[in-house]
Structure formats: C-alpha cells, structure tokens
A and B are shown apart, each in its own frame.
Chain A
Amino acid sequence: MFGAGGGTSSYEEVREVADLIVLWGSNAREAHPIFFLHVLKALKRGARLMVVDPRLSATARWADLWLGLDVGTDIALANAVAREIVEAGFVHEEFVARATTGFDAFRESVEPWTLERGEAVTGVPAAAIRELAHAYGSAAHAQLCWTLGITEHHNAVDNVLALINLSLLTGQVGRHGSGLQPLRGQNNVQGGGDMGAIPNRLPGFQDLLDPAVRAKFDTAWASSIPPHIGLHLTGMFEAMEHGELTAVYCVGENPADGEADRQRAIRLLQGLDHLVVQDLFLTATAELADVVLPAASTLGEVEGTVTSSERRVQRVRKAVDPPGGARDDLELVYALAGRLGHDLGSPRAEDVWNELRSLSPVHAGMSYERLGELGGIQWPCFDESHPGDQFLHGRLWDEVVAEPAPFHVVEHDPPVDLLDDDFPLRLTTGRRLESYNTGVQTGLFHSPLHTGGEAILLAPADGARYGVADGSRARVISRRGAVEAPVRFDPALRPGLAFMNFHFPDLVATNVLTIDATDPKSGTAEFKATAVRIEPVA
C-alpha cells in the first residue's frame, strides 16, 4: 500500500523512542518473544501498552488497556477509533492535507461509528474505545503493530487498511519513532516475500506487471516470465481441485498439517500427478510425495541471509555439516533445474546473493562483507556507501509529497463461518510460546514449557453450559470435521469464545475444523474464526 511491504520502524525506535505501543491482533509475548523484549524495555522506560485481542492473552496481561473485542470486529473498532480521533480534535490536519488523499470520503464512512455503536458491535466498552483513540491521537510517537490476529481473516487486507487509516489520520508514520509494524511469523517470511517467492512480485519487491522490470529479469535469465500474476498458495489448491495444477515442488513447507481444512489439503495433495518434497523430516506432506529430497537446516548447517520484521538483512552461518546425505537446499534446487536442462549458475550462497544484489536495487549495497561488518543492514540499501534506512516513508514529510498515501474506505464484515444453534461457539486459534506451527521444528524437544499438548480452552461458564468438565475429553465439531480434545477451563476467555493451538497435529488435528474461506486479495484463510459445538465424550 505504501509501495513496499515491511515494518516501517526499526526495533530500536520501538524500544527507545515510542511512548505508545498498540498491539492489535498480536500475542507478541508468546508469538514474537524477541520483539516483545523490545516492547518490555519500552514499558520500563515509561511507554504505555494497549492491546486489542479477543482473549486476555499473555500479552494483554502486560497492557495498560486491554480491548477484548469479538472475533472479526476489528474494522468496526478501527472505524470507531477513527471517528473519535476526528471528534476529539486529534487529526493531524497539516499532515492529512499535505501527505494523504481521500480524507473526505473516509471521514463520511466512519461517521456512523459512534462510541456507542462501536461498543454494541465489538463488545468493547465505549470508554475503552475512547481511551485508545485519545492515546493514539495524542502520542508523541506511536507504534501500531499487528499480525495474524487480523490477517487470518477473510477480509485481511481491509483489516490492515483500517489500521493504516489511523496512522494517516494522526501522522504516526514516516518519522523517527512512529510507525506501523506488521510482525512476521516464520524467521524469514519477510525475506521470502522480498526475494520474490510470491506470485505477484519479482525479487526486491519489484512489480511483475511492469514490462521494464520483466525485461530486466528476462535479459539476465534468458527467460520468458509470464506477464500476469501467478497463483498464491490458496489459489494453487483451488487449481488442484479443478485438475489444472498437477505437479508441485514443495520446499520446507508442510501444508498437509498447516493448511486450514486439513482433510481437503491432504486429498488434493494425494491427487497430484507429481509431488516432490524437500525437507528436514519426513513430514505429513513428505509422506504423500513421489520423491523426497533430504535438506540441510537453516539453523547452523548453511551459509546465507535472512530478513527480520524491521527489514534487517542478517547473515546466518554454517557451523556443522548436515547429517548423512542431506544437502543444502540450494544445491538440490539447482541440481533439479540442471536435470530439466537449465543451468541456473553457481549454487554457492554468496554467489546467489550477489546475483540477487545485481537485480534488486534495495539490496544492491549489501555485500556479505558489509553485512558481517555492520551486523546486518536494513533495506533499502542502494550502494556500498549506503547505511540502510532506519525507518520508511519519510517522503510523506517532504514539503511537497509526490505520492500521497491514500485513505481507504473499509466496511465491517463479520466472519464467514456463521454462528448458529448447531455451531454456537466461536473458536479461534493461536500459537504458544514454546511450540511452533505444526511442531516440525519444536515437537521433538523436551521442555518444561510443553504443558501436556493440545487442549480446547473454554470459559468455565461454557463448560457448564455444554456439559463438559475441566480436564475431561470433548468432541469439537465444525461444519468440516470433528476432533477429540481434552478440555481446559480458562478464565481469561469470555463466554462464547473458545481457543485451541495447532502445534501437536499428531494429538489433535485442529485444522480439521478450520474453514478455508480466504481473502480474495491476499489468499489468507480465516483460521481465526471457526464456528463449533462441543459435546462431552462418554
């Protein structure tokens, strides 16, 4: 939306400068613990923390203010906050006039969202909405951070635009200390996108649809890149459903466990004509493959770089050889290309990186040597004398802004999997601190933090209502499937809201329940909002 995808501020600004941090749909304490250390240091310095989350999460317990909204009401809340910012006179009028477009239409669209209406739709008390609005509007330096709590919804993109609107209203972006932070999950999901491993961008976040950009890559690669965007993961599964996509090369991903509607994912992967899986372990996906290639681990077995949420590219180094016949992923990818008649060049990590630098202006100045010397460099870094940009969008504070940032009118749109008498309970999912995703990386480690595997967490009142006792087993049923799980009561949950992790698919395959309704603009599935019912197991 601003032209490049990445956190706009550095962690240093969060830690040392911000006086207000808003975590919206983020349980950073458990899901982004390193980032949360920076937040804690800010709090120690006197910064305030406000947390928007349906659950009183581990993060919310640190907050000065917790806004416990109903699942899928983020736009309603953001619009109510926006209206209050305008009403209370906190709009940064000069910034709005100079650096933005579309304010009038936006202002009109939030007019119905009074504090009272906000409370009625979101469940958050009007006084709390007012407090968030006033705090964000009056902060000297505010950081607005979000993650999957708002993006794992069918209207993910709109949820994010609603938050960006707030930063534009108040001028809390593009200057030192103020910014927007999408917190990323996997250690290098930022890097994956930056490297163009997505269907709509070429490396360096360059636009696939721009003929001049395509020509540059086609010249370098002697290729013919198709001039239209490709399918994202969800779209690829759709294409499998229609028999149009029949061959998959799966490197380091485990969709048989990690995708919403797991049974559908397995059926489609089994139906492929050809599946090649390259991974560290024989995952559930690898078990379905025609060919399995053993790979080396990013954690100490290879040379390379990764990119953090604050856009910092850092070196990772090889400390040990991979076991047995396992190989560096690069070697395997390049060898496969070779068997198909294409010489992609040298598979040596530094050579691959230097090729990337020659094609991506924002990485051009990041030699391995400089990355080592400086301990990492934030993009953009255009040449070897450039130190990298600490924060983004400073252009919005120029006297004349060449490309103003637009407000977007976004409408509240409740979750797709509707609650009714058969499925009256809202189930949301999330991560725990000591485990990660489908347990491929974390499942084998013994740890005092592993508190006995998967369970469905219920408000005590719901346990009573549905006749299940704390510690008993229950059947959890959605429109797509059912699982059995132990029940644990959690007083942090409001009645009507249940919670499960997804870290132990051997024990409880949570994604059997979830819906794969996706945001057509981003492809993200609505993992966060499933309708279920609970029944005791005899």
Chain B
Amino acid sequence: MGVQRSRQRLTEPLVREDGALRPASLDEALDRAAAGFRRALESGKQTGVFSCSKATNELNFATQKLSRVVFGSNNVDSCNRT
C-alpha cells in the first residue's frame, strides 16, 4: 500500500516504512515522531522548528514553546522572510 501525491486534504497520519509513506494511527505516528527527536537530543545534534504564518498566533506560541522547552533550542523561525 502506498500513498499517491495528492491534491486532497490529509485526513490520516503517515509514517515512512521501507522507503514509502503509509497510513498509521495517530499513536504510532506520534511515537515515531517523538522517537526521532529523542534520538537527535541524545546525540547532541541540533533541532529545527519551522513554524508557519498561515497559522494562528496560538500555534506560533506553541511551536516556539516546544522548541525552547522540549528541544532546548532557539532554532525556530516562521515564514517571515519570503
């Protein structure tokens, strides 16, 4: 099962397996998402958060808070330069 490039709204999480994206439960997707960041933090590598300005003030507050509190990083930027 694969996922075609689509012009339709995303309605379910996707995870990469054997080189391709496949649907997954939110639980699995969040676990995988977290595991990758844990790996970066434990290896001492830097993280980056891209926060977008199509979104609300509240969302931008949340992403910068996550970057600073959870990732311990000021590497956060929004689409304010294009």
Contact = CB atoms under 8 A, between A and B. Distances in A.
Given A188-B53, A192-B51, A245 B12 contact: no
Given A203-B64, A246-B40, A291-B29, A152 B58 contact: no
A313 B45 CA distance: 37
A254 to B, nearest CB: 9
A276 B21 CA distance: 12
Given A199-B77, A274-B36, A340-B37, A231 B21 contact: no
A16 B73 CA distance: 45
Given A329-B59, A339-B31, A192 B80 contact: yes
Contacts of B16: 289-291
Interface in A192-227: 192-200, 202-203, 208, 217, 221-226
A228 B56 contact: no
A505 to B, nearest CB: 12
Given A185-B79, A232-B77, A239-B46, A197 B72 contact: no
Contacts of B76: 196-199, 230
A280 B82 contact: no
A353 interface: yes
A209 to B, nearest CB: 10
B3 A282 contact: yes
A507 interface: no
Nearest to B6: A282
A233 B49 CA distance: 9
B67 to A, nearest CB: 8
A186 B54 contact: yes
User: Which range contains the number of A residues in contact with the other chain?
Assistant: 35 or more
Contacts of B5: 282, 287
A27 to B, nearest CB: 15
A273 to B, nearest CB: 7
Given A251-B50, A306-B57, A294 B13 contact: yes
A21 B75 CA distance: 37
Interface stretch (A77-85, A490-498, A518-526): A518-526
B9 A313 contact: no
Contacts of B21: 287, 289, 292
Interface string A169-193: 0000000000000001111111111
Nearest to B52: A252
Most chain A beta-carbon neighbours within 10 Å: one of B16, B47, B69, B78? B78
Given A233-B77, A290-B32, A330-B58, A253 B52 contact: yes
A340 B10 contact: no
B1 interface: no
Q: Which of B40, B61, B72 has the most CB of A within 10 A?
A: B61
A247 B10 contact: no
Contacts of A249: 33, 37, 47-50, 63, 66-67
Contact of A233 (B13, B14, B64, B81): B81
Contacts of A340: 34, 37-38, 70
Nearest to A186: B53
A401 interface: no
A409 interface: no
Given A231-B75, A344-B62, A279 B50 contact: no
A472 interface: no
Nearest to A316: B56
Contacts of A229: 74
Interface in A416-444: 437, 441, 443-444
Contact of B69 (A208, A240, A326, A337): A337
Given A192-B78, A226-B74, A344-B69, A292 B14 contact: yes
A152 B80 CA distance: 11
A253 B79 contact: yes
A53 B48 CA distance: 35
A332 B74 CA distance: 20
A128 interface: no
Which of A198, A203, A289, A302 is the most central at the interface, judged by chain B CB atoms within 10 Å of its CB? A198
Nearest to A148: B82
Nearest to B74: A230
A231 B32 contact: no
A337 B56 contact: no
A245 B61 CA distance: 22
Interface centre among B7, B21, B52, B76 (most CB of A within 10 A): B52
Given A247-B47, A249-B63, A294-B13, A191 B81 contact: no
B58 A233 contact: no
Nearest to B32: A291
A250 B79 CA distance: 11
Given A189-B79, A249-B50, 11 more contacts: A185-B79, A186-B53, A188-B54, A193-B80, A196-B60, A225-B74, A230-B75, A245-B45, A247-B46, A324-B11, A324-B12
Interface of B: 3, 5-16, 21, 26, 29-34, 36-40, 43, 45-70, 72-82
23 contacts: A152-B81, A191-B56, A196-B64, A197-B63, A232-B77, A236-B50, A245-B48, A246-B43, A251-B59, A281-B8, A281-B9, A286-B14, A289-B21, A290-B33, A295-B10, A307-B57, A325-B26, A326-B9, A340-B38, A349-B56, A441-B54, A522-B81, A524-B81
Interface of A: 148, 151-152, 184-200, 202-203, 208, 217, 221-226, 228-236, 239-240, 244-253, 255, 258, 273-274, 276, 279-282, 286-287, 289-295, 298, 302, 304-307, 313, 316, 323-327, 329-330, 332-337, 339-340, 342, 344, 347, 349, 352-353, 355-356, 437, 441, 443-444, 522-525, 527
Of all A-B residue pairs in the complex, the 6 with the closest CB atoms, nearest first, are A324-B11, A230-B74, A304-B56, A274-B36, A192-B78, A252-B52
